[in-house]
Amino acid sequence: MPFYLRPRLFLWIGGVVVTSIAVYIFCQPSGIVLRQNIWADLTEAEAIEVLKYVHSASPELNLTAAINASLWDNFVHGIEVVHPNKEDALNFMAGISEHPPPRYARIAIHHGTSQEVYWDEYLLGPLPVSNETKIKPVEYHHRADLEHARNLVPDAASFKEWPYSIAQEVSDITQDLLQATINADGESNPDGLELTFRDPWVKDGHILRWCSFQRAGTRFGAGTLLPQGLYVKLDTTGRDPAKWKVLNWFYNGMLYNSTDEFRDAWRSPGFRKAPINRDGDWTRIEEPTSDVSSRDHPAPLMVHPGGARYQLYREAQYVSWMGFTFYWSFAQSTGVTLFDVRFRGERILYELGLQEAMSLYAGNDPIQGALAYLDSFFGMGRAMFELVPGYDCPIYADFMDTFIYDAERTQQRKRTICLFEYTADYPLQRHSTTFYVTISRNHYLVLRTTAVVGNYDYTVDYIFYLDGTIEFKVRASGYIQGAYFMPGESQEFGFRVHDQFATSMHDHIINFKVDLDIINSRNTLVKINIEPKTKSYSWSEGEPLSTMSLTRESISNETGFNWPANSETMYIVVNNETQNQWGENRGYRIMPGSGIGTPGHLVAKSPQSLGKSASWAFNDLWVTKQKDDEARSSSPRNAFNKDKPVVDFAQYVDGDNITQEDL
């Protein structure tokens, strides 16, 4: 039987302190009912089983074992667990169904035998493999026009070698303009040149991409600070580099239509050269010396005198702390997701997890001017690096490993998740009178990961507070990706931060899915507006007074909306079929987060470099009806398929009635 302790009825408003804080602080969970984690990632044994099955049972896929495969073969590109349908999961968690929902794997296959290289996805299960196990293509609801997801850069090696050979052909020009040549054939001259690429796109059947010349740099990772202001546009249609073409060169504000045209211009008198962006001490992170003597003294440090106050069940990926309980699950594309988040036995959230991290840059050159990243492609879970105790997380934190299944091999990634309790430097509540003071310490629980996607480090936190608030927070660090400084132009898109280097403005929009279940899955989103009002009262003897009041409005259809100006609207998910003893609905307020300002949505209108791949970024908040076939707002395979994405979130918002529905 699940542990079920009926909590007192409060209006749960995240972030707003409610009355009975002392109750939360002194309450310990009086029992934990741990069920199998039905959302857990595939085990190594399951992954092996899946691979064996797909190799033996699917001759029509014509698979080559990854260890022997080239990009001209078909091979298993990725394996991921499929989360169970919500109703099945709830039945199991509630004990209505004794057996856990069947486990399935989703596998992505690289199809490399023809001119058009693509991925497609299959469902394989139930697991463990039995005579009932089957494999079938994943059906893309809403996306009848999509046959498969194209891979526009299938042959990573030739997609590098060929542009490098183009760069070698212009060595005389780069030597003159940039005083360097390309680091071809694996050379690693720090003052040599490398090429970086913006995602390719398809136009009139052609696969096009811009490349930027960057200095390699003496420090690993500083390359994004060293653009040289020279760019080349390539047509890499098809898989035969002999048929690829150089289209344009761009240098010092001039666009040239061919290499010959660029070379002629360079040779002609009056050709205008731009200064070089050189590496130097300015790309260092560490200060070489410090004359602040007190820096050598130990800094304040948090300690954990009595040991952890949470219960961590590593195998089950389950945590219990101060009445909160939750399971977590890991995926290579999205990192950590929480499931079945409860307070004192009562479910608050069915699911809470990152879906996609998008960034869109602006600038005056062909790279920065249209650069867009969808980081689940690189893998917000796959990119999780080892956390540093005492720096990323307190020294006393618990650290957990994750497993990556890559090219049919398992990689254990050590210490990629940490869990710890922390005490804020301010109290949760306080009050003093002449005769007494009441004050509560402010402890919170953090589950943290850091994904290092290229130059960026995203730290993703899930945080539980004693006032009932559950917060997710993303912090970005790492190196900026900036632009070659162009006087009079770069200032429109950033700030000059070195001799020939400017920042590049960009939006980071990170999408999370929040499946709140207030009491049960029948919920309503209510907008509470704070409005100016003029009202006369009997006690004002009829004189109209300028004041304000609340209006309540249920959102009846799936829609997107933004954080209001002046915080004049509150968004609250309630269950309007149950009330507390004073007749108020129980609910959770959705707030824009603490400490990092109000998160924004995309400023650019329908940028071509995103197409339909991230339409969730156009508003701050969306509400849709929960559907098992709308489990994620994005796909790691949206990246090269922006006009016909694998997941087109806009199609989820199709007018469903959402009053007292699963949201």
Ligand X SMILES: *[C@@H]1O[C@H](CO)[C@@H](O)[C@H](O)[C@H]1NC(C)=O
When asked if residue 73 is in the footprint of ligand X (CB under 6 A), the reply is yes
Is residue 456 flagged as an active site residue? yes
Stretch in the footprint of ligand X (CB under 6 A) among 17-25, 58-66, 158-166, 493-501: 58-66
Q: What is the dihedral of CA 579, 585, 590, 593, to 10 degrees?
A: -80
Catalytic residue among 24, 256, 373, 456: 456
Selected binder of ligand X within 440, 557, 562, 619 (CB under 6 A): 557
When the beta carbons of 473 and 625 are compared against ligand X, the nearer one is 625
Instruction: Please tell me the distance from the alpha carbon of residue 358 to that of residue 494, in angstroms, as a whole number.
Output: 19
Distance in Å, CB of 335 to ligand X, minimum: 30
List the one residue out of 447, 477, 476 whose CA is nearest residue 463: 447
When asked if residue 556 is in the footprint of ligand X (CB under 6 A), the reply is yes
Catalytic residue among 41, 375, 392, 662: 375
Stretch in the footprint of ligand X (CB under 6 A) among 61-69, 206-214, 565-573, 620-628: 61-69
When the beta carbons of 459 and 660 are compared against ligand X, the nearer one is 660
* 3-state SS track over 414-446: EEEEEEEEEECCCCCEEEECCCCEEEECCEEEE
Distance in Å, CB of 391 to ligand X, minimum: 41
Distance in Å, CB of 23 to ligand X, minimum: 27
Instruction: Please tell me the distance from the alpha carbon of residue 355 to that of residue 372, in angstroms, as a whole number.
Output: 16
Pattern of binders to ligand X over 567-606, x per CB under 6 A?
Answer: ---------x------------------------------
When asked if residue 429 is in the footprint of ligand X (CB under 6 A), the reply is no
When the beta carbons of 56 and 536 are compared against ligand X, the nearer one is 56
Residue 342, token pair as written in the block: 């409860």
Stretch in the footprint of ligand X (CB under 6 A) among 282-290, 338-346, 352-360, 653-661: 653-661
Burial of 470 (0-12, 13-18, 19+ CB in 10 A): buried
Stretch in the footprint of ligand X (CB under 6 A) among 21-29, 334-342, 455-463, 553-561: 553-561
Distance in Å, CB of 128 to ligand X, minimum: 12
| CA 89 distance to own-chain centroid | 25
Distance in Å, CB of 65 to ligand X, minimum: 3
When asked if residue 131 is in the footprint of ligand X (CB under 6 A), the reply is yes
Residue 423, token pair as written in the block: 């005490």
When the beta carbons of 112 and 468 are compared against ligand X, the nearer one is 112
Stretch in the footprint of ligand X (CB under 6 A) among 233-241, 423-431, 549-557, 598-606: 549-557
Burial of 660 (0-12, 13-18, 19+ CB in 10 A): middle
Selected binder of ligand X within 9, 65, 395, 424 (CB under 6 A): 65
When asked if residue 395 is in the footprint of ligand X (CB under 6 A), the reply is no
When asked if residue 132 is in the footprint of ligand X (CB under 6 A), the reply is yes
Tell me if the bond preceding 126 is cis, omega within 30° of 0.
yes
CA distances from residue 510 to 159, 334, 460, 628 in whole angstroms, order as listed: 29, 11, 10, 22
When asked if residue 268 is in the footprint of ligand X (CB under 6 A), the reply is no
Selected binder of ligand X within 133, 317, 442, 524 (CB under 6 A): 524
- Indicate the SS3 state at residue 277: coil
Residues in the chain: 663
Instruction: Please tell me the distance from the alpha carbon of residue 26 to that of residue 639, in angstroms, as a whole number.
Output: 48
**How many CB atoms within 10 Å of residue 395?**
13
Instruction: Please tell me the distance from the alpha carbon of residue 314 to that of residue 87, in angstroms, as a whole number.
Output: 26
Unique residue bearing structure tokens 């009975």: 20
Stretch in the footprint of ligand X (CB under 6 A) among 91-99, 285-293, 420-428, 550-558: 550-558
Distance in Å, CB of 103 to ligand X, minimum: 17
Selected binder of ligand X within 6, 26, 67, 432 (CB under 6 A): 67
CB environment 83-101: b (16+ within 10 A), e (fewer): bbebebbbbbbeeeeeebb
User: Which 228-267 residues touch ligand X, going by CB under 6 A?
Assistant: 257
CB 210 within 8 A of CB 235: no
| CA 140 distance to own-chain centroid | 22
When the beta carbons of 478 and 560 are compared against ligand X, the nearer one is 560
Distance in Å, CB of 649 to ligand X, minimum: 16
**How many CB atoms within 10 Å of residue 270?**
5
When the beta carbons of 43 and 557 are compared against ligand X, the nearer one is 557
Q: What is the dihedral of CA 261, 265, 266, 271, to 10 degrees?
A: -160
When the beta carbons of 113 and 608 are compared against ligand X, the nearer one is 113
Positions annotated as catalytic residues are 375, 456
Q: Where does this chain bind ligand X (CB under 6 A)?
A: 62, 64-65, 67-68, 73, 113, 131-132, 257, 524, 554, 556-557, 576, 655, 657, 659-660
